[in-house]
Amino acid sequence: MSVHRPEGLSDVFMEPTEAPAAPPTLPTLGLVGWLRWAWRQLTSMRVALLLLMLLAVAAVPGTVWPQRAQDTAKVATYIADHPTTGPWLDRLGFFDVYSSVWFSAIYILLFVSLVGCILPRTKVHLAGVRGRPPRAPRRFTRFPAQGSGVVDAPPSQVADHATTVLRAGWRWLPFVPTYRVDTRDEGNGTLSVSAERGYLRETGNLVFHLALVGLLISVATGQVLHYRGQAIVVQGRGFANAQVDYDTFEQGTAFTPSSLVPFTLRLDEFESRFDPVTLQSRDFTAHVTLTNPGEEPVEETIKVNHPLDAGGAKVYLQGNGYAPDITVRDASGQVAFSGPTPFLPQDEVYTSRGVVKVPDVSGDQEQIGLVGYLLPTVDVRETSFGPAYASVNPQPDDPALVLAVWQGNLGLDTGVPQNVYELDESRMTQLMDEDDKPVTLVVRPGETVDLPEGMGTLTFNELTRYVALDLRHDPALPFVLVFALLAFAGLATSLFAPRRRLWLRLAPGAEGDDGRTVVTAAGLARGDDVGLQPELDRVLAQVLARSADRPPVAPRGPTSGEASP
């Protein structure tokens, strides 16, 4: 049997059991010859080793330099801070390591090498599983496990018995034979019994490697088909799964809008719990109402670690904060703005920063901008500069809005998209009081304060909460999981299932010693296997012991070729 063996693979198990190997033929080089040579190199063990180490090394820069995929801003800062090296690093892909040409080249070559190595081995293994255990080698002396003995029974009877011993089942799986057994007649009355177990080891190895290929393909498929979006949803408000409803949206190249199932989601209530002493977060729960198209609304909860499945997508609770509900009336008493505005938490005690833009004032009044903080539990301290406000607890025990007031043109009509959390101050002026200090409004829920210079009033209606949701749809997820688990199972099997070959040679006793058999045995295992010699000893002991006291058996059935793996 010609065995496929990747160049450089050192594996006793694949050595031919009889020595003579064909003399190496020098390749006749030509284009085909070179290609063949290159392929053999690529699929060799040495190159696989090299590629693995390269992959390990190539993955490291991604932790050393900031990565665009995770933090674009950080990359921009880095390049700005390093005007000479930055652009070069950028050109060489050091800010996009995992999608760079060199990183991709390494893992693609590795996978090509893997496939080139594994497919032929799979073929050989399938043939091996269907074939007979390899014939007993002529000499046993070079094998790692050996044994011998003499028994009072003719070879044929010993062979039968050895077959029974070897084919005995597992303790916990009595119907599955341990070994596959094959008996051959070597002439001169000598029989040999070949036995092999542990085909699962090679099977596991192949499954592991092929599962890695499956994993790679699944991950790539997911990349192409996925979508992901972020949305901020305020308490009492809804959200529809449509591209326009997202604050940010990102999609794979083969994404089709039809994979967005148009469900709607409403945030009914948001609960948070913090440790009273350390103020660390302990629990966040969003109570939502989910309405799938054509179905009754259902109440659900979303927690960190417990995403909600909706319309084939998963909805994650990524963040939360406060959205004060404010009404601004202009000088003429008209409502110019009303509704909740999300403020972004800046620290552990939810000191939250936000901007309220009031463009729709009536008449020819100037537009109003409010910038400042929401403090869920306010603490006021008098300082020489006047009162200082700080939040002391993330829970809304005594919330207050502390705002500065700007007047002028908000710049919303320039056509340039604006950050809703920043005020463009270029065409606005901040309002000052008589002492020429900036005006600071402090408002508590239910309170109404006058805006300076008779611009109108501001009412803090109530404090509502919002959640930042992250939606992701990746149709390849189940495949990724299955291939990962297959790889794991294959790996464990290939490392822990022993693969062993045992051979027994049953020679008739010397002249005049008829009816006796000289038994010699040898064993071979893949990898190191401390259990090989004990197993050989056990088998030999059983063969020697019981063959002797069994009565001569009647007709002999065929023993070869009927075993199972």
Partner 1 sequence: MTTGDLSTLLVWGAATAFTIALVAYSIDLARIAERAQKRVPEAALVGSGSTRPATAVAGSEDQSAPGRSARAEGIARSTTLLGLVLLFAGIVLRGIAAGRWPTANMYEFTIVGVFVAVLVLAVVQRRRVIAFVGVVVMGISVLALVLALNAFYIQADQVQPALQSYWLILHVGVAIIATGIFTVAFAAAVLQVLRSFREEALVDGPAVTVGTPGRSDRFRRWVGGPRFGWLEQVPGSRELEALSFRLNAIAFVLWTFTLIGGAIWAEHAWGRYWGWDPKEVGTFVAWVVYAAYLHARTTRGWSGRRASYFVFVGYAVVLANFTVVNLVVTGKHSYSGI
Residue with Cβ nearer partner 1 (104 or 429): 104
Residues 522/540, Cβ–Cβ less than 8 Å: no
Residue with Cβ nearer partner 1 (259 or 327): 259
The partner residues of 267 in beta bridges, in order of sequence, read: 288
Q: What minimum distance in Å lies between the beta carbon of 553 and partner 1?
A: 42
Among positions 282, 427, 437, 538, the unique one binding partner 1 when judged by CB under 8 A: 282
What x-and-dash track marks residues 20-49 binding partner 1 by CB under 8 A? -------------------------xx-xx
Q: What minimum distance in Å lies between the beta carbon of 422 and partner 1?
A: 24
Among positions 76, 119, 484, 548, the unique one binding partner 1 when judged by CB under 8 A: 484
Q: How many CB atoms lie within 10 A of CB 427?
A: 13
3-state secondary structure 128-169: HHHCCCCCCCCCCCCCCEEEEEEECCCHHHHHHHHHHHHHCE
- Residues contacting partner 1: total by CB under 8 A: 54
Scan residues 361-400 and list those touching partner 1 (CB under 8 A). none
Residues 323/331, Cβ–Cβ less than 8 Å: no
Among positions 3, 8, 100, 112, the unique one binding partner 1 when judged by CB under 8 A: 8
What x-and-dash track marks residues 430-469 binding partner 1 by CB under 8 A? ----------------------------------------
Among positions 20, 22, 275, 454, the unique one binding partner 1 when judged by CB under 8 A: 275
- Segment interacting with partner 1 (CB under 8 A) among 160-168, 272-280, 434-442, 517-525: 272-280
Scan residues 164-223 and list those touching partner 1 (CB under 8 A). 219
Among positions 79, 431, 491, 545, the unique one binding partner 1 when judged by CB under 8 A: 491
Which residue shows structure tokens 């090299």?
A: 50
Q: What minimum distance in Å lies between the beta carbon of 6 and partner 1?
A: 9
What's the DSSP call for residue 553?
Answer: P
CA–CA separation, 495 vs 529, rounded Å? 11
Task: Identify each DSSP E strand in 155-258 by its residue range.
Answer: 180-187, 190-197, 227-234, 238-240, 248-251
Residue with Cβ nearer partner 1 (52 or 150): 52
Scan residues 299-318 and list those touching partner 1 (CB under 8 A). 303-307, 314, 316, 318
Binding to partner 1 by residue 488, rule CB under 8 A?
Answer: yes
Residue 181: strand, helix, or coil: strand
CA–CA separation, 514 vs 278, rounded Å? 90
Residue with Cβ nearer partner 1 (103 or 140): 103
Residues 267/237, Cβ–Cβ less than 8 Å: yes
Residue 443's Cβ-count burial label (10 Å; 0-12, 13-18, 19+) is: buried
Q: Which of 402, 440, 406, 439 is nearest to 423 (CA)?
A: 406
Binding to partner 1 by residue 231, rule CB under 8 A?
Answer: no
Residues 206/497, Cβ–Cβ less than 8 Å: no
Binding to partner 1 by residue 487, rule CB under 8 A?
Answer: yes
Residue with Cβ nearer partner 1 (4 or 472): 472
- Edge-first strand order for the sheet with 238-240 is 238-240, 264-274, 281-291, 298-303
Q: Which of 505, 512, 471, 536 is nearest to 189 (CA)?
A: 505
Q: What minimum distance in Å lies between the beta carbon of 225 and partner 1?
A: 14
CA–CA separation, 47 vs 38, rounded Å? 11
- Segment interacting with partner 1 (CB under 8 A) among 137-145, 350-358, 525-533, 553-561: 525-533
Scan residues 45-84 and list those touching partner 1 (CB under 8 A). 45-46, 48-49, 52-53, 55-56, 59-60, 62-63, 67, 69-70
Binding to partner 1 by residue 105, rule CB under 8 A?
Answer: no
Residues 147/537, Cβ–Cβ less than 8 Å: yes
CA–CA separation, 348 vs 34, rounded Å? 64
Residue with Cβ nearer partner 1 (56 or 224): 56
What's the DSSP call for residue 412?
Answer: G
Binding to partner 1 by residue 278, rule CB under 8 A?
Answer: yes
Residue type, 66: P
User: Could you list the residues that contact partner 1 (CB under 8 A)?
Assistant: 8-11, 45-46, 48-49, 52-53, 55-56, 59-60, 62-63, 67, 69-70, 97-98, 219, 228, 275, 278, 280-284, 303-307, 314, 316, 318, 470, 472, 477, 480-481, 484-485, 487-488, 491-492, 495-496, 527-528, 530
